[in-house]
Amino acid sequence: MLYTRLKETFLTVFGKGGELYATPGSLVVLGEQADVLGGFALAAAVDRITAVMVRENGTDKARIFYMDSNELDEVSPSLPPTKAWTKSLHGVMTLLRNHGLPIKGFDAVVGGLLPNQTFFSGYSSLTTLGCLVLNDINQLGLSRFDMVKLAQEADTMTSGRPVSVIHPFVALFGQSDKLIRVNCHTLEYEYLSLPSSEVALLLLDASRQTGSLLTDKSGVAALGGQAIATLQTLFPSLSRLSDLTTEMLDGAGKHLSSDLMAACRYALIENTATQKAYGALLKSDKDGFGSALNDVQQALFDYQAEQVEEVTFLLAAARQYQLLGARAIGFGRAGCTLNVLDESAIPAFTELAATNYRQEYNRDLRIHPLKLVNGASRISF
């Protein structure tokens, strides 16, 4: 068990025990562009856990041991991180010190399924853990909303690019057996149940990411940002792209380039599908919920016909088996698909998909049945 391994490793590396914290992975079900559009995202905290055992060490340094790679890194105000996985924690420490807060040093052992899985936003999970741990160690009194903003700022600083607020929000506010609908402009949120206890989320991982995962998403965001200025001259009441309607977009056709039109159309369909899924969840309509994922996937194919081959293969398998819905994660570049299906269909579908995938690509398909869990917390162990 992960927690047992963390405790044993901590004793081996640092000699005494510590406190245990864990955070879930975060998954955007619909609305990956919502933070850019200023609209709604539908997301979930899932049981892909990152955990840390930590203890103050009486210095201004953090000594961080990563259990999965058996590596130790040491950071301080004058000592930058040498490992990629240390940057998240160091970023939180740096920001808090920049705000004039005295931050104590600590020893930590980090482990879990993350941060190695991009589609569960692993580095954001580490940043969220850093906020929770440092808030407790230093008795800062930060609220969970404070920590969401802090984590987003730290991720943006360490990555060098704007980072979504959705992932730290979900990691901190996740609730067992619930999806979260969050307004990315105001951070108002609402918990929603899946359409029935028999409906499940399943992620299929082709282990085939491309380097343009963030580039494609940033491209749509940039084009949308260019388009909004023109759209607002035509429709002064339009404050955000999430308020764009089909009639507005059709009326703006001659004022926007083909690239801007395509990006806006994709953004419009994604936003509409997210609202469609919300309505379906309120009515416990599993078919409507699943079809919303299909709507987004079709929009992605229309916007960007060239997709990762293995992802296209997995989407075809979902259609062949007539799942409720399926879409590619990470704008089609994360190498995985999110599937909505009846729980009773999981054994037969995964056997079919895994067998066909092995025959086609001569490697195994990674299958992740997803359980919706609570947000980050201190663990009694």
pLDDT band at 161 (very low <50, low <70, confident <90, very high): confident
Per-residue pLDDT, 85:
77
What confidence score (pLDDT) does residue 344 get? 95
- pLDDT at residue 126 tops 80: yes
Percentage of the chain lying above the pLDDT 90 cut = 64
Lowest-confidence region among 150-159, 341-350, 360-369: 150-159
**What pLDDT does 124 receive?**
80
The pLDDT score that the predictor gives to residue 209 is 56
Domains 2-194+374-379 and 199-370 fall in the same CATH topology: no
Q: Tell me, what's the pLDDT at 18?
A: 94
Q: Considering only 103-117, 144-158, 301-315, which range has the smallest mean pLDDT?
A: 103-117
Domain definitions of the chain by residue range: 2-194+374-379, 199-370
Q: Which pLDDT does position 122 carry in this prediction?
A: 63
- When mean pLDDT is compared across 60-64, 209-213, 323-327, 362-366, the lowest value belongs to 209-213
Residue-wise pLDDT for 186-227, tens only, equals 999 999 999 988 999 999 998 765 544 444 555 777 888 888
- Per CATH, is 2-194+374-379 categorized as 3.90.550.10? no
C-alpha separations of 114 from 45, 65, 173 in Å: 13, 14, 18
Q: Which pLDDT score is estimated for 214? A: 42
What pLDDT does 208 receive? Answer: 64
**pLDDT winner (highest mean) among 142-151, 210-219, 252-261:** 142-151
| pLDDT tens-digit map of 28-60 | 999 988 887 788 999 999 998 999 999 999 998
As a whole number, the mean pLDDT across the chain is: 89
Per residue in 171-194, pLDDT (tens digit) is 999 999 999 999 998 999 999 999
pLDDT-derived band at 269 (thresholds 50, 70, 90) equals very high
pTM for this predicted structure? 0.91
Beta carbons within 8 Å of 330's beta carbon, 6+ residues apart: 32, 118, 119, 209, 213, 217, 336
Tell me the per-residue pLDDT of 58-103, one tens digit each, with 9 for 90 and over.
998 999 999 888 999 999 878 888 887 788 888 899 999 998 988 9
**199-370 classified as CATH 3.40.50.2300:** no
